[in-house]
Amino acid sequence: MKSNIRHPLPLSLNAEVFEDIIRTDKVRIERIVSQGHSSPAQGWYDQEENEWVLVVEGRAVLEFENGAVQELAAGDYVNIPAHTKHKVRWTDPDVPTIWLAVFYP
C-alpha cells in the first residue's frame, strides 16, 4: 500500500509525534513530526541502536555531548552511532519539521 511521509500530518502538534513506518527485530524506521519542539534541557538521548536521520522538510538543530552542533535543513542527514549522546536543540516553530529516522544495530 502506498503512503506519503509528508501527508497526512498530525492535526495537533502540541507534542512531538513519533510514528513507526516499519518495525522489525533488525530495523525500525520512524516518522517524527516536530514544530517548535526540543529535547528537555536536562539529559541526553543515549540509544542502544545507531540512528540515521534525515530532515525531509523544515529545519532543526542537533547538539552533541562533545559540543558539536549540527544545523539541518530539508535534505540534510546525519548518522548518529549508538551511545553518542545527543539532543534536539531546536526545531522550526513556524512550519512542521518532518524527520525520517532509521534505527539499526
DSSP assignment string, 77-89: EEEE-TT--EEEE
Query: Domain 18-104 carries which CATH code?
Result: 2.60.120.10
Q: Which amino acid is at 73?
A: A
User: Which residue type, as a one-letter code, is found at position 80?
Assistant: I
Domain definitions of the chain by residue range: 18-104
Q: What local confidence, expressed as pLDDT, does residue 77 receive?
A: 98
**pLDDT tens, per residue, the chain with 105 residues:** 899 999 999 888 999 999 999 999 999 999 999 999 999 989 999 999 999 999 999 999 999 999 999 999 999 999 999 999 999 999 999 999 999 999 999
* Grid cell listed for 83: 551511545
